[in-house]
């Protein structure tokens, strides 16, 4: 147990662009939804943890712009510059420490106002790698190729992840409206980083996600009737240089999930978990992350999909929300996964609800080829 | 303060700070500080459970720099996250690390702050404010301080000479700190006032420098701290206040500095401090410009409003005064932004560890740390030799 529960969830719709909203307005929408969901006012919030990355916002200290809308004026705020799930884990630690009774966690990104792959090239070592043109896209191409060569899993396998998640996203009113995508559509789309094709990559979108964490005592005193416990959490960062890593081994994900499972008392995720929301910035990653999360042995992520285990209605659905392929923005993605996991545990996921969810996994990642991973287990 | 468990700083380390550390990469610079902090704590990388990085990446023109640099901080394979809150990044990182240990998730956390401003353009980075309302008048640190300082001077009767004395004190202290960037032991009030005016009333020699550098500290939970450290620097209080994002909304900023005032009051209450000037043994405060130190004296309750000038004139905050402020030389002598708040925390811990060498305050056992950033954000930490 981390000693924190989640008492409110709010997400904007995720859209290719939100030209009518500035970032603070977009974040305010998610904040108001989360406060409404928790049925509390801003005065009940003790502290704030935000997640944003300056280069993607084109601003220095990009949390400055949301100070007012997240209610951080004359309050404590910490900004985690990375994936939003990491912000939630840090917030849970501050609650677990006894420092705060309630913490609002907010993540935002407007990918429409930047150039995602160009920005990502500034996140790789500037001496040896950036001059070669490495960015998160080319790193993913290398990882997909390594995965293909190691396990004989290829484009036709991961194209079916796109098919699954695009279909699931249509049941998610927050996901951008898009057409069904068949595996054949994916395989017919243009190559962007061999062996990856255009439809293998998650679309660029705008949006914000907000969660409200509380100590169990504070949740009770606030009258929360649907607290969802943060049963376990872990995160880890791998070596930076791709050559220093086995790109098919997902060591950091193993460390992060191992820690989260130990805390949550999970022996076998396939048996003990009813739904997984993972951050697949690329289709192949859902297969690879399934392995890293211990849902199956290495190399068997595709089998899990083919046997229908991870399909909606399967034994362990993965990304019933549609996942990142279904439209969650960079930075927001991990926190949106947690929001979805919470809704699933509460039985509030409407058309994307999985039956009988007692415990769910949320996963976030950032960095080239999944260098950094975070995992949270939530439960009733 | 009612945390789940006690936390202490048990080791500190920093790089030599300079205008340009072109002998090391960012990652190597981080390693230089981390290695020293680990050695000071008599630990190895294996003893560290998690890492917090503090840095303002756009000042180097980077994104997510922890992905590259965390390996320099023993971070490969470990939990790593980055805190970035402008000038308060370092103190916010220090607060984050303490809370992570207090939570029970980790027994040991290494906090490393760094900035390599020589590889970027900080003033350009700082000017990347709100594109609709603020950017066309954005003037980064110097200009926006100057606006508020002239109002502060007029209201409190602070003189240019009193402010210059702050800079002289800082540089004299820095001369006893081998890691400090600016080494100007012979600086005089006359020289400060004769230096060029950056934006009236701020002179070149009373503004903080642009530095490259890194600083690290090791936190440990109580059982580890007692085992590994003779005089752990216990974290007795932390407080953070952020404020309005538009400078026009921050009426009378230096005059009131409501964030620092409020954070300090909360921290004092947590640590049981009622008379800060008498009870505190040493303070490491984040003064990016001479006048800020005077304004902070008032906000921190060291003196009544209007008497900060007297405090500096009477030497109350000098090394041999009642409450030495910034024995390290402060931000006025060394400012690698993301590291600056970690330096304040590490220097305060160093005093409690009794390892201040030529800048040691005799018998220091209760230390105040502050962080300042953006237009008016404040952090406060209080460290003590008494676990409380």
Q: What is the pLDDT of residues B147-159, one digit of tens each?
A: 899 999 999 999 9
pLDDT at B260: 98
A185 neighbors A283 (Cβ within 8 angstroms): no
Fold for the domain defined by A5-115+204-221:
Peroxisomal Thiolase; Chain A, domain 1 (3.40.47)
Closest CB from B56, B99, B243 relative to A94: B99
Closest CB from A53, A77, A234 relative to B63: A53
pLDDT mean over A207-225: 97
Closest CB from B78, B82, B243 relative to A74: B243
Give the integer Cα–Cα distance in Å for A319 and B2: 39
Query: What's the mean per-residue pLDDT of chain A?
Result: 97
pLDDT mean over B136-148: 81
- Give the contacts of B170 (CB within 8 A, at least 6 positions apart): B287, B290, B293, B326, B329, B330, B332, B333
Contacts of A251 in chain B (CB under 8 A): 77
B220 neighbors B101 (Cβ within 8 angstroms): yes
Chain-chain contact of B4 with A3 (C-beta, under 8 angstroms)? yes
With b meaning 16 or more CB within 10 Å and e meaning fewer, what string describes A131-164?
eeebbbbbbbbbbbbbbbeebebbbebbbbbbbb
With left for phi above 0 and alpha for psi between -120 and 50, is residue A16 left, alpha or beta?
alpha
pLDDT mean over B327-333: 98
Binding-face residues of A in 174-233 toward B, CB within 8 A: 233
- Long-range CB contacts for residues B184-192, cutoff 8 Å, separation at least 24: B189/B161, B189/B164, B189/B165, B192/B164, B192/B167, B192/B168, B192/B290
pLDDT at B134: 78
- Give the contacts of A306 (CB within 8 A, at least 6 positions apart): A157, A160
Q: How far is the alpha carbon of B208 from chain A, nearest alpha carbon, in Å?
A: 19
Contacts of B131 in chain A (CB under 8 A): 58-59
pLDDT at B133: 80
pLDDT at A285: 98
Chain A's closest residue to B104, CA to CA, is A97
Contacts of B59 in chain A (CB under 8 A): 60
- How would DSSP label each residue in A7-72? EEEEEPPPBS--TT--HHHHHHHHHHHHHHHHT--GGG--EEEEE--HHHHTSTTTTGGGTTTTT-
Q: How confident is the model at residue B142 (pLDDT cuts 50, 70, 90)?
A: confident
- How would DSSP label each residue in B34-95? HHHHHHHTT--GGG--EEEEE--GGGTT-SSTHHHHGGGGT-TTB-EEEE-BTBTHHHHHHH
Closest CB from B65, B81, B104 relative to A90: B81
Chain-chain contact of A68 with B82 (C-beta, under 8 angstroms)? no
Chain-chain contact of A240 with B70 (C-beta, under 8 angstroms)? yes
Taking residue B266's Cβ as centre, other Cβ atoms within 10 Å add up to 18
Q: How confident is the model at residue A179 (pLDDT cuts 50, 70, 90)?
A: confident
The burial of B183, by beta-carbon neighbours within 10 Å (0-12 exposed, 13-18 middle, 19 or more buried), is given as middle
A92 neighbors A2 (Cβ within 8 angstroms): yes
Give the integer Cα–Cα distance in Å for B357 and B272: 29
How much of chain B exceeds pLDDT 90, in percent?
88
Binding-face residues of A in 62-121 toward B, CB within 8 A: 63-65, 67-68, 72-82, 86, 89-90, 92-94, 96-99, 119-120
- A57-71, B121-135, B207-221, B261-275: range with lowest mean pLDDT: B121-135
Question: What would the pLDDT profile of B236-269 be if each residue is shown by its tens digit?
Answer: 999 999 998 887 788 778 898 999 999 999 999 9
Domain ranges, ordered by start, for chain A: 5-115+204-221
Query: What's the mean per-residue pLDDT of chain B?
Result: 96
A343 neighbors A365 (Cβ within 8 angstroms): no
Question: What would the pLDDT profile of B339-387 be if each residue is shown by its tens digit?
Answer: 999 999 999 999 999 999 999 999 999 999 999 998 899 999 999 999 9
Contacts of B80 in chain A (CB under 8 A): 235-237, 372
Question: What would the pLDDT profile of A262-320 be if each residue is shown by its tens digit?
Answer: 999 999 999 999 999 999 999 999 999 999 999 999 999 999 999 999 999 999 999 99
The burial of B260, by beta-carbon neighbours within 10 Å (0-12 exposed, 13-18 middle, 19 or more buried), is given as buried
Chain-chain contact of A56 with B63 (C-beta, under 8 angstroms)? yes
Task: Delineate the domains of chain B, giving CATH numbers in brackets.
Answer: 7-122+211-228 (3.40.47.10), 134-208+235-384 (3.40.47.10)
Contacts of B104 in chain A (CB under 8 A): 3, 96-97
Question: What would the pLDDT profile of B172-204 be if each residue is shown by its tens digit?
Answer: 999 999 999 999 999 999 999 999 999 999 999
Chain-chain contact of B81 with A60 (C-beta, under 8 angstroms)? no
Contacts of A130 in chain B (CB under 8 A): none
With b meaning 16 or more CB within 10 Å and e meaning fewer, what string describes B39-53?
ebbebebebbbbbbb
Closest CB from A22, A67, A96 relative to B103: A96
Closest CB from B56, B78, B100 relative to A61: B56
B301 neighbors B285 (Cβ within 8 angstroms): no
Q: How many CB pairs under 8 A join A and B?
A: 189
Chain B's closest residue to A236, CA to CA, is B79
Strands (E), A196-267: 196-197, 206-214, 228-237
Q: Does pLDDT of B3 surpass 80?
A: yes
Contacts of B77 in chain A (CB under 8 A): 236-239, 251-252, 255
Contacts of A126 in chain B (CB under 8 A): 62, 68
Phi then psi dihedrals of residue B362, to 5 deg: -55, 130
Question: How close are the terminal C-alpha atoms of chain B, in Å?
Answer: 9
A87 neighbors A59 (Cβ within 8 angstroms): no
pLDDT at A36: 98
| Kind and range of the H or E run holding A137 | helix A136-151
Q: How confident is the model at residue A14 (pLDDT cuts 50, 70, 90)?
A: very high
Give the integer Cα–Cα distance in Å for A298 and A294: 8
- In 3D, which of A370, A364, A358, A371 has the Cα closest to residue A266? A358
pLDDT mean over B14-41: 98
- Give the contacts of A149 (CB within 8 A, at least 6 positions apart): none
Q: How confident is the model at residue A1 (pLDDT cuts 50, 70, 90)?
A: low
Contacts of A96 in chain B (CB under 8 A): 4, 103-105
| Kind and range of the H or E run holding B143 | helix B140-156
Closest CB from B79, B130, B374 relative to A235: B79
- In 3D, which of B66, B90, B98, B40 has the Cα closest to residue B336? B90
How much of chain A exceeds pLDDT 90, in percent?
98
pLDDT mean over A73-84: 98
Chain-chain contact of A97 with B243 (C-beta, under 8 angstroms)? no
Q: At what angle do helices A84-96 and B89-102 cross, to 10 degrees?
A: 60
Chain-chain contact of A98 with B4 (C-beta, under 8 angstroms)? yes
- Between the alpha carbon of residue B144 and those of residues A356, B153, B247, B288, the distances in Å are 57, 15, 8, 12
Q: Does pLDDT of A2 surpass 80?
A: no
Give the integer Cα–Cα distance in Å for B67 and B64: 6
- Give the contacts of A196 (CB within 8 A, at least 6 positions apart): A137, A140, A141, A144, A282, A283, A284
């Amino acid at each position: 147990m981390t000693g924190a529960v989640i008492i409110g969830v709010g997400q904007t719709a995720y859209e290719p662009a939100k030209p009518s909203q500035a970032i603070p307005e977009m974040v305010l929408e998610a904040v108001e939804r989360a406060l409404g969901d928790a049925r509390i006012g801003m005065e009940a919030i003790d502290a704030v943890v935000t997640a944003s990355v300056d280069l993607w916002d084109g601003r220095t200290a990009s949390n400055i712009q949301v100070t007012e809308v997240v209610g951080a004026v004359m309050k404590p705020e910490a900004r985690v510059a990375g994936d939003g799930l990491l912000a939630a884990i840090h917030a849970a630690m501050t609650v677990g420490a006894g420092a705060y009774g309630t913490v609002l966690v907010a993540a935002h990104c407007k990918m429409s106002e930047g150039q995602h792959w160009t920005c990502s090239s500034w996140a790789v070592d500037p001496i040896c790698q950036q001059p070669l043109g490495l960015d998160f896209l080319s790193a993913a191409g290398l990882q997909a190729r390594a995965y293909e060569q190691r396990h004989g899993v290829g484009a036709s396998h991961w194209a079916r992840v796109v098919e699954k998640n695009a279909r699931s996203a249509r049941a998610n009113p927050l996901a951008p409206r898009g057409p069904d995508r068949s595996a054949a559509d994916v395989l017919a789309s243009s190559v962007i980083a061999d062996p990856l094709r255009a439809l293998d990559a998650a679309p660029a979108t705008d949006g914000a996600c907000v969660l409200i964490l509380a100590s169990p005592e504070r949740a009770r005193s606030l009258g929360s009737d649907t607290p969802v416990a943060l049963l376990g959490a872990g995160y880890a960062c791998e070596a930076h240089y791709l050559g220093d890593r086995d790109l098919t081994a997902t060591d950091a994900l193993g460390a992060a999930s191992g820690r989260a499972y130990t805390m949550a008392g999970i022996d076998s995720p396939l048996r003990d978990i009813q739904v997984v929301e993972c951050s697949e910035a690329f289709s192949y990653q859902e297969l690879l992350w399934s392995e890293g999360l211990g849902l199956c042995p290495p190399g068997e992520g595709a089998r899990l999909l083919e046997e229908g285990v991870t399909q909606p209605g399967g034994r362990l659905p993965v990304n019933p929300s549609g996942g990142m392929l279904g439209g969650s923005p960079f930075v927001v993605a991990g926190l949106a996964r947690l929001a979805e996991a919470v809704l699933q545990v509460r039985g509030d996921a409407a058309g994307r609800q999985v039956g009988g969810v007692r415990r769910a996994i949320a996963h976030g990642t950032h960095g080239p080829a999944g260098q950094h991973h975070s995992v949270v287990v939530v439960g009733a | 303060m009612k945390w789940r468990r006690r936390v202490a700083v048990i080791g500190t380390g920093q790089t030599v700070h300079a205008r340009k550390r072109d002998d090391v990469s960012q990652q190597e610079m981080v390693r230089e500080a981390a290695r020293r902090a680990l050695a000071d704590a008599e630990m190895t990388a294996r003893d560290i459970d998690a890492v917090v990085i503090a840095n303002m990446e756009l000042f180097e023109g980077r994104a997510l720099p922890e992905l590259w640099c965390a390996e320099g901080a023993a971070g490969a394979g470990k939990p790593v996250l980055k805190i970035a809150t402008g000038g308060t990044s370092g103190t916010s990182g220090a607060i984050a690390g303490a809370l992570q240990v207090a939570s029970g998730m980790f027994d040991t956390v290494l906090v490393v702050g760094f900035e390599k401003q020589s590889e970027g353009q900080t003033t350009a980075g700082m000017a990347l404010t709100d594109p609709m309302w603020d950017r066309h008048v954005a003037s980064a640190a110097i200009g926006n301080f100057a606006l508020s300082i002239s109002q502060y001077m007029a209201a409190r009767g602070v003189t240019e000479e009193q402010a210059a004395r702050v800079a002289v004190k800082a540089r004299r202290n820095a001369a006893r700190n081998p890691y400090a960037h600016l080494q100007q032991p012979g600086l005089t009030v006359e020289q400060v006032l004769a230096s060029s005016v950056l934006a009236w009333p701020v002179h070149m020699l009373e503004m903080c420098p642009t530095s490259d550098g890194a600083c690290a500290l090791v936190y440990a939970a109580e059982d580890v701290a007692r085992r590994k450290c003779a005089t752990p620097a216990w974290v007795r209080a932390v407080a953070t206040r952020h404020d309005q994002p538009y400078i026009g909304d921050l009426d009378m900023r230096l005059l009131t500095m409501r964030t620092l005032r409020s954070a300090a009051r909360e921290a004092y209450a947590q640590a049981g401090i009622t008379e800060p000037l008498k009870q505190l043994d040493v303070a490491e405060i984040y003064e990016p410009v001479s006048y800020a130190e005077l304004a902070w004296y008032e906000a921190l309750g060291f003196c009544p409003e209007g008497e900060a000038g007297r405090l500096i004139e009477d030497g109350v905050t000098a090394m041999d005064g009642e409450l030495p402020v910034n024995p390290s030389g402060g931000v006025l002598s060394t400012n690698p932004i993301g590291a600056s708040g970690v330096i304040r925390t590490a220097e305060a811990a160093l005093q409690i560890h009794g390892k201040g060498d030529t800048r040691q305050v005799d018998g220091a056992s209760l230390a105040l740390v502050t962080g300042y950033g953006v237009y008016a954000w404040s952090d406060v930490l209080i460290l003590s030799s008494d676990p409380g």
